[in-house]
Structures are given as C-alpha cells and as structure tokens.
Structure 1
Amino acid sequence: MLLPALAAKIVEEVKKVIVEDVIVVTPEGTIIASTDDSRVGDFHEGAKIASGEKRTVIISKKDEQTLAGVKAGINLPVFFKGEVAGVIGITGIPDEISPFGEVIRKMTELLVNESYYTEQLNWEARTREAFVFDWIQLKEWTSAFTNRARLLNIDLTMQRLAAIAVIPDESLHYKGISSVIQTWQNSHPEDLFVQWGNNRIVMVFHSGDTAYAKGRIQSFHQFLEEEFRTHVLIGAGKSVRPSRLSDSYMQAERAIQSNSTHDARIVFDEDLTIEMLLNEISLKTKEEYIERTISPLLTEADLFTTLSVLFEKNHSLKKTAEALPIHINTLHYRMKKIEELTGLNPSRLNDALILYLAVMLLDKQPK
C-alpha cells in the first residue's frame, strides 16, 4: 500500500505534467494525498471500485450524485508486483483527460518501484551498519551474530582489515554519501562499506593479500576524492583474524588521530612510531607536560609559530627563516626568547626533543 509521504511525492510529480486536480487513494478508498488538501482523509467510492475490480473507472457528472466522495474524471489502479498498491484519480472531463491516463499510471508505477527499491537499499545499508557495529563491539560471537552474517553473505573466516575514511565537509548530504558507498559496494561485494555518523565511512576489507588490500584502499580513496571533490583522510589498521576486527578498527582510529604528523592522506597504523606512544598518554598527563614546557609560548604567537615551523623544516634555520618569512637574525632572536621563556634551548638535542613532544601533544589536545 502507498504511504502518505510517497503519495504526496506522486502528486507533486504529476502536477508537473498536468494542471488538473489529482488525488492518490488507498486500495480501501481513503484519499491520502491531493492537490486539494480539503479532500485528504475523505472516502472515494470510485477509487475503491477501481481497486477492487483492478480496472480504470471513469466518473461522469451523473456519477457524482450516486458515488460517495467522487468528482468527474478517471481513476486508475496503480500496480506493484501484480497487486493494486493504490489508485490515482484525475479530475476533469473524462474525454479530455483520458489520453493522459495511461501515461500518468505508468509514471506513478515507476515512482512506486523506485521508492520500493530505494527503501530496500536503505534497509540493507542499515542492516550492514548494525552488523559491522556489533562485529567491532562483540567480545564473543553469538549464534544470532553468525546467522546474520550468513544472511548478509558475509564470510567470517577470511582475514580482515578495518579502515576509516573521514570526509571533512560535514555539509555533504547523508544520501550523497550513502549512494557513493552503495556504488562501490555493488562492485566490491567481498568487502563491507558502511556510513558511520555524518562524515565517516567504515570499511572492512578482505585482506588475505595485504598488498592487494592496500591497493583497494588507495583505489577507494581516489574514488571518494573524485566523487566529493575534496580531500579525504583514511586511517587503516592491520590485517587481523575476523574475530579480532575490533583491534584493526582501533588501529585505524589511531591512524586517523595521528594524521597531524603526516602529510599523507592515507595513514597505515603499521607505519606509526612515536604516535603509538603519544596516543597512550592520558589527557591529564598531556596537560601537565604542556604546562611544564611550552605554556609560556601559548600567548606568544610569533614564538610558538617559529618553533612549530622549525620542527616542520627539520631544524633547518635557512628553510625556517624562508618559510616564516623572516631574516635569519630575527630567527636567532626568537630562538633565544624561546629559551628565556621555557628554559629549553631548541638548538640542544635533548631540549629540542622535549619541545617537539610538547608541540605534538598540543596538536592532539581536544579543540
């Protein structure tokens, strides 16, 4: 049976084709959408006859006196999978509007089919999302979980690799992201792709061949950037047994969080080094470390920027001065001021390491 939201959409689409009044009616004869809002909820006897007898019913002016809730025009049953899903009625002189009737019926049936298959795709996407969420969260698989995997045709025996894509533009419409996911999912059924919140996609790749899995990640990354026309960040975990997918997912999260220290837009957890340590440090410890080291620089924008660029340029004074851009003597002056305020000399290896860690920790602080 047609639902009111779809019925309203049908009315809007038909209005683009004809100027006559249009109604959409349930098989039981209740008007659920109309160009005349006052008719919504009324009983329409002509539509009920059209539905019950599965045929077009023409309503004359004379019929208006004997049939409940009708106006002169035609009523056409709309079929879905061989059954009447509803009736569309067009008000007017029957001889004048009849030529449009079959066209309007076909157009309406196309809309009904499109709505059905869209809803099916949405249901499948939501089912996959729920399954992947449970796959990551469950400590032990239940029989219900393995049965769902079987129904979704998901192989729980092969090695898997989890990855997370972050799309920076959160204004992208949910449907836009989901349609892109569906396009890729259809051509890569052995993998899983689900939307995670407003701007994330979680991917579960078949990773029996790790090099091949990495290649698919790179291909998907290119596909996303071409579709959304924006930079997309992907963090990828390591290949694991399917029962340990949560480990790979957490590694992908760590790779995402560690991106501030990488220029690449795809970060593999196995490539992380110092970031592994930084992510294990508690927020309280980070705050205390920053307070003991670079806190005096947080109100000195020029000095803090100078220190950050110095590290970005691998401690090259020439490249740092050019990037800022300032005279080399100004750079020496600022480095001296940094030492005076922090007690740490950026030119000494030990002090430089302490300052570098502080800058990295600050960059990872919640904004």
Structure 2
Amino acid sequence: MQFLTYELAQEIVERTMKILNRNINVMNGEGVIIGSGDSERINQLHAGALLVLKKGESVEIDSFRAVTMKGSRPGINLPIRFSNQIVGVVGITGEPEQIRNYAQLVKMAAELVLEQSFLLERVQWKQRLQSEIVNQLISEEGLNEESIKERAGFLGINLEHPRVAIVIEKRDYTEISNQLIRSVQYEIGKADLIGVTFNDEIVILKAAAVNESERDLPPLLKRLLKVSGGKVLIGSGGLAENIKELKSSFYQAKRAIMVGNKLQPDTSFYQFDDYQLEIMLAKLVQYEDKSIFSYYHQLLDQGKKGELADTLEAYIREGGELNKIAESLFIHRNTLRYRLEKISELTGKDPRNIKDLIELYMAKLLHDIS
C-alpha cells in the first residue's frame, strides 16, 4: 500500500518549513524525491535516502560525503515510520552540526502529518460506505440483505435493530455542507447510520433503543434543528422493525415534511405520527377528482375576511364546545349559531353532524395541503 503521495509529501514539506527555516525533502520507498522546498529536485533519486531505507536508521551527510553521493546535499535524512514499517524518508538540508537539534522534531512532524492523513482518509471511507448503505436501504428493490448486513458489519453496525428514518432537507437554497453533516454526526449515536442522498438530503437511520418509539424523538430533532442553524426542514418516519421497512420509513419522513410544512409553515420539524391522516388524504387525492370537496371554497369566498372558514377551524379545534369556540373567536353564541347555519347552507354539510364534520375537515385539509 502506498502511504506517501506527492501531495502528502509536499504537505509535509510546507508544514515543516514553516517551523524550520531550512529546505526539506521527502522521499518515497524507492528513494525518489516526491516533495521538496526546491521544486527542481522533484523526481530525482536521493542516494542518502536509499542508504536510510537500506540501513533502517538515520544518515548524516556532511559536505565532504555529499560529493560522493549522487543527488545528495549536506543534511540529515531520517526514516518515516508508519504502522511499524518504514514508508519513506525525510531530509533536512544543511550541515549536520547546525541542524541536528531539529532532526527528530522534523521526523515527528512528518509522521504526525502522515497519521492524520491516514485517519482522515479512514473517516472519509467510513462516511462514504455509510452513505452507500443508507442509499441502498432507502431506494433499492430486491435488496441483498446478507450483503448489506455484511458491509454494515465492517462499520460495527448491526442492521437488525429497529430504526426510524430522519430526513433533513435544505430550506430554499441552503446548501447541505460538510460542516452541517459533521455537526449532525455529533448528535447521533454509534449505532446510527447517516448518509447523503442524490437529492442532497441528509438521512439518518436512527437505531431505536428498547421500548423507544418515534414519540421519543423530539429532543433529538430539536438538537438537529439547533446545530443546523434552523435553515433546514426535518421529518421523521414511523418505526421500521426490519431492513425492508426502512424505505417506507424514509418516505414517511419526506411526506411528513411535505404535508407538515404546508399545514404548519412556522414549524421546522415534523413527525409522521402527527400527520398520518393528512398524508393519507394527500396520497388519495392524487388519483381522485379534487372537485369533490370544492364546496369548501365557498366558505373562503363568503363572509368577512374568511370568518366562516375560521369558525369551522375553531369548531374542529375546540371539539364542538360552543362556549370555548365563541370565546376563542370573541363572538356571542348567537353569532356562532348563525355562522354554523351559514356553513351548513353554503356547503350542504352541517358541522354538528359527525359525518358531515369529517367531510368538512377533509375538505379543509385538502385545501390546505394542495
């Protein structure tokens, strides 16, 4: 495996030269210079590095010795070790007596940069793998369960856990940035999966604890909203008991956002459990003639500033209790009775009849979510 690349070698050079006002060279496992403060030396063979690779220890080269060694200049060359093996060499240009005190510091800096790069690459690999798994779980038909369980196992994640899908969508033209993804990652658990879809949505497949349900989600949803700066919409689906149900939970979360944002635009997170009736209605009317509930528009067209529609909404909200309805609307009970009669006259539906009230409520919902 190649640990040192040209890019990484040059990064080591630039970092160490900021600390030490000396030229730095980085050589690969074949002794070829792949990073240097002197760009003309790139791709030259470094005899001193070959010696370090052969002996497995530091090599000092003074001015007299440099003359006899091809591609070498006075300096100290030290092995770069990673995972208990020598993967390259770092050299400091200068007379050994003048730079000996800095040699080990440069070696440590080079190895630290290499380790950080490896850890970052490993984190990025895990993120990519998680994202691939999430996208497969929420989109693919005929899913190979054993294969995807095995891939999740590489990450130490057990897909047998019941899970709830959480979708984070950007609001307007807000971008789903890497910083936002990292912020979200800090809020979820080790057993949770996170990925980004092709539509630029963050999807969390949250593992549910014992006796935990989607009703226990609001604290997490509030934290996710906070770390996102309130510039996103968040939806959660129902509990998926197995892998095959995750796709349904994902789409439930998306529908909760779609419907919830129309009914309550001032809210930023929506749970499927709170909008099941509205979502069901929205799906049904996609294939039905929407004119069947057109009588609701007559309430909007009549009265002062939509007072009949407001009265119907208050009637539904207060469960038909006339005193509470009149108080919430700041009107007399006789005025309320007159408005209810007017609603019945215009729509042919009497709010005081439970079946008619259900139909009026459905007509109102259809108008609100259309």
TM class, shorter-length: 0.7 to 0.9
Q: 2:19 is paired with a residue of what secondary structure?
A: coil
Residue 323 of structure 1 corresponds to: none
Q: How does 1:24-173 map to 2 (within 5 A)?
A: 24-136=26-138, 137-168=140-171, 170-171=174-175, 173=177
Residue 252 of structure 2 corresponds to: 251
Q: Residues 230 and 268 of structure 2 are in contact (CA less than 8 Å); yes or no, is this contact kept in structure 1?
A: no
Q: 1:194 is paired with a residue of what secondary structure?
A: strand
State the alpha-carbon separation in 2 of the partners of residues 307 and 231 from structure 1.
Answer: 32
Q: How does 1:124-273 map to 2 (within 5 A)?
A: 124-136=126-138, 137-168=140-171, 170-171=174-175, 173-174=177-178, 176-185=179-188, 188-196=189-197, 200-207=201-208, 211=212, 213-215=214-216, 217-242=217-242, 243-258=244-259, 259-262=261-264, 263-272=266-275, 273=277
State the alpha-carbon separation in 1 of the partners of residues 307 and 95 from structure 2.
Answer: 78
CA RMSD after TM alignment: 3.7
State the alpha-carbon separation in 1 of the partners of residues 213 and 29 from structure 2.
Answer: 54
Letter matched to residue 61 of structure 2: I
Q: Residues 311 and 356 of structure 1 are in contact (CA less than 8 Å); yes or no, is this contact kept in structure 2?
A: no
Indicate how the Cα distance of structure 1 residues 358 and 198 shifts in structure 2: closer, same or farther if over 3 A, else same. closer
Indicate how the Cα distance of structure 1 residues 313 and 165 shifts in structure 2: closer, same or farther if over 3 A, else same. farther
State the alpha-carbon separation in 2 of the partners of residues 112 and 313 from structure 1.
Answer: 69
CA offsets 1:72-125 (integer angstroms, 9 cap, x no match): 211121111111122111212222222111111112211111111111111112
- Deviation of the 1:283 alpha carbon: 10
Q: Residues 170 and 199 of structure 1 are in contact (CA less than 8 Å); yes or no, is this contact kept in structure 2?
A: no
- Deviation of the 1:308 alpha carbon: 10
CA offsets 1:235-260 (integer angstroms, 9 cap, x no match): 11111221211111111111122223
- Deviation of the 1:46 alpha carbon: 0.8
1:277 aligns with 2:281: yes
Which stretch shifts more, 203-212 or 267-276? 203-212
- Deviation of the 1:130 alpha carbon: 1.4
- Deviation of the 1:202 alpha carbon: 0.9
Indicate how the Cα distance of structure 1 residues 256 and 58 shifts in structure 2: closer, same or farther if over 3 A, else same. same
Indicate how the Cα distance of structure 1 residues 36 and 230 shifts in structure 2: closer, same or farther if over 3 A, else same. farther
Q: Residues 132 and 195 of structure 2 are in contact (CA less than 8 Å); yes or no, is this contact kept in structure 1?
A: no
State the alpha-carbon separation in 2 of the partners of residues 266 and 148 from structure 1.
Answer: 31
State the alpha-carbon separation in 2 of the partners of residues 210 and 232 from structure 1.
Answer: 29
State the alpha-carbon separation in 2 of the partners of residues 310 and 47 from structure 1.
Answer: 88
- Deviation of the 1:15 alpha carbon: 2.2
Q: 1:230 is paired with a residue of what secondary structure?
A: coil
What is the TM-score of this pair, normalised by structure 2? 0.72
Residue 6 of structure 1 corresponds to: 8
State the alpha-carbon separation in 2 of the partners of residues 198 and 212 from structure 1.
Answer: 27
State the alpha-carbon separation in 1 of the partners of residues 109 and 308 from structure 2.
Answer: 65
State the alpha-carbon separation in 1 of the partners of residues 120 and 199 from structure 2.
Answer: 20
Residue 335 of structure 2 corresponds to: none
- Deviation of the 1:24 alpha carbon: 1.4
- Deviation of the 1:151 alpha carbon: 3.5
Q: Residues 224 and 232 of structure 1 are in contact (CA less than 8 Å); yes or no, is this contact kept in structure 2?
A: no
State the alpha-carbon separation in 1 of the partners of residues 306 and 211 from structure 2.
Answer: 36
Q: Residues 163 and 237 of structure 1 are in contact (CA less than 8 Å); yes or no, is this contact kept in structure 2?
A: yes
Letter matched to residue 234 of structure 2: I
Q: 1:19 is paired with a residue of what secondary structure?
A: coil
Indicate how the Cα distance of structure 1 residues 118 and 20 shifts in structure 2: closer, same or farther if over 3 A, else same. same
What is the TM-score of this pair, normalised by structure 1? 0.72
* Number of residue pairs aligned between Structure 1 and Structure 2: 314
Indicate how the Cα distance of structure 1 residues 81 and 229 shifts in structure 2: closer, same or farther if over 3 A, else same. same
State the alpha-carbon separation in 1 of the partners of residues 15 and 181 from structure 2.
Answer: 24
Q: Residues 59 and 94 of structure 1 are in contact (CA less than 8 Å); yes or no, is this contact kept in structure 2?
A: yes
State the alpha-carbon separation in 2 of the partners of residues 146 and 178 from structure 1.
Answer: 24
Which stretch shifts more, 165-174 or 248-257? 165-174
Indicate how the Cα distance of structure 1 residues 354 and 211 shifts in structure 2: closer, same or farther if over 3 A, else same. same
Indicate how the Cα distance of structure 1 residues 147 and 355 shifts in structure 2: closer, same or farther if over 3 A, else same. closer
Gapped runs of 5+ residues in structure 2? 315-342, 350-359
- Deviation of the 1:134 alpha carbon: 1.9
Q: 2:240 is paired with a residue of what secondary structure?
A: coil
State the alpha-carbon separation in 2 of the partners of residues 179 and 247 from structure 1.
Answer: 26
Indicate how the Cα distance of structure 1 residues 229 and 146 shifts in structure 2: closer, same or farther if over 3 A, else same. closer
Q: 1:2 is paired with a residue of what secondary structure?
A: coil
Q: 1:16 is paired with a residue of what secondary structure?
A: helix
Q: 1:62 is paired with a residue of what secondary structure?
A: helix
Q: 1:239 is paired with a residue of what secondary structure?
A: strand
Indicate how the Cα distance of structure 1 residues 133 and 198 shifts in structure 2: closer, same or farther if over 3 A, else same. closer
Letter matched to residue 147 of structure 2: A
State the alpha-carbon separation in 1 of the partners of residues 270 and 368 from structure 2.
Answer: 20
Q: Residues 177 and 195 of structure 1 are in contact (CA less than 8 Å); yes or no, is this contact kept in structure 2?
A: no
Give the share of equivalent positions with the same residue, in percent: 25
State the alpha-carbon separation in 1 of the partners of residues 256 and 202 from structure 2.
Answer: 15
